[in-house]
Amino acid sequence: MRTRPVLTRVAFLAAAVGLAIGTAVPASGAATPGWRVVKIFGPAEGVWADNFVATGAGDAWSTWDAVSHSLVERWTGRAWRQVPVPPNLAGDAASSVAIGASSASNAWLFDPGKVLRWNGSVWVFSAGVDSMTKPDHFAAHYNGHVWVKVQLPGVISQVSALSPTDIWALGVTTATALGSNPAYILMHWNGKTWATVRIPKVSPPAGAVEFPVDLAATGPADAWLQRDIEQGSAGARTLYLLHWNGRSWTRVNLGFPTSFVDYMTQDGHGGVWMVANGPARAFRFLTYHLNAGHWTRYTAPVATGLSLLDLTGISWIPGTRSVWLTGNMTGPPNGNGIFGAILKFGP
């Protein structure tokens, strides 16, 4: 179950603009039209996606952790291929906290205190807050020669970068960052300055907290969030979505019975995709698509002989109307185990 996000000293990267067992995996006959399984990793005792970024139809990067080792994978436009990491850097790649890329020849992995570059221009964001330190909120831009530090209007927790002149960040005000009831804000970079957008405050029931999460931006005047509530020990649940149109906020109700929305991303034409859990007691993992006020719900397909364990992320493919989806599957073949999975919607 999701819990209220805690800001920690972690770098968030936004691009300026023998485990693998196959690149194409047949899906079961019950596969939903539109979604397909592209690759699986495993079996292992545990396999999961740590980071994922797509720069276009012909390029994407992901990191995967198994019990014994880690992988860096790149989409070439035709297949997912493993990218060898030099032995002296393998440990840093395995513990990376963020990944970003601007092209097939420019990708970055961030390990606490270190930066690994695949042969650019990037932003790195410091969340810079924990329960014992003073807020340290900044963005740093690498201009090809040096890092240039830029002060942020608040302390960030999530970043959605669309271009070098259109970067959104979700966070809290500096004055409230270490308090029990922080004031949440959106921050936007237009290529020259950072501006802020206040997020509507709410009055949750006694003993509960409400907070916005899962920033998904679609343009310089268009952004989506979700409003979650956490009460007691049951974990968080999603109440509704929030949409900013450049002038005001609109509350958007979920189109299907939902426990909570795990992840969101834009769809390339004004809407959003979501990974969500259905209602109790099954809490079934599903994908939702909201576009032009219309909701569609999809069941993720699985590779033949496997069953879905969870879904771990969703990412829009820039310049397209397609998205990548990551998750885990379990069961045979080759004995019982857990398989990491990459799925795709669209061409």
Q: What is the pTM of this model?
A: 0.82
Query: Which position has the higher pLDDT, 30 or 79?
Result: 79
Q: Tell me how far apart the alpha carbons of residues 312 and 7 are, in angstroms, rounded to a whole number.
A: 20
Mean pLDDT over 76-97 rounds to 75
Q: What is the mean pLDDT of the chain?
A: 79
pLDDT at 103: 63
Amino acid, single-letter form, for residue 252: V
pLDDT at 335: 64
The tokens for 45 are 């005792």
Check if CATH label 2.130.10.10 holds for domain 11-17+20-345: yes
Band (135; pLDDT cuts 50, 70, 90):
low
Mean pLDDT over 253-262 rounds to 94
First and final CA of the chain: distance in angstroms? 33
3-state secondary structure at position 82: strand
Given a cut of 90, whether residue 153 has pLDDT beyond it is no
Q: Could you give the strand order of the β-sheet that contains 236-244, starting from the edge strand earlier in sequence?
A: 208-219, 222-231, 236-244, 249-252
Residue showing tokens 């994978």: 73
Give the containing element (helix H, strand E) for 235: none
β partners of residue 296:
289
For 197-216, the pLDDT digits (tens) are 999 988 888 888 889 999 99
β partners of residue 273:
265, 289
Query: Which position has the higher pLDDT, 331 or 3?
Result: 331
33 near 8, Cβ under 8 Å?
Answer: no
For 31-56, the pLDDT digits (tens) are 445 899 999 988 888 888 878 889 89
Query: Which position has the higher pLDDT, 74 or 114?
Result: 74
341 near 22, Cβ under 8 Å?
Answer: no
* Residue of 200, 302, 311, 231 whose CA lies nearest to 264: 311
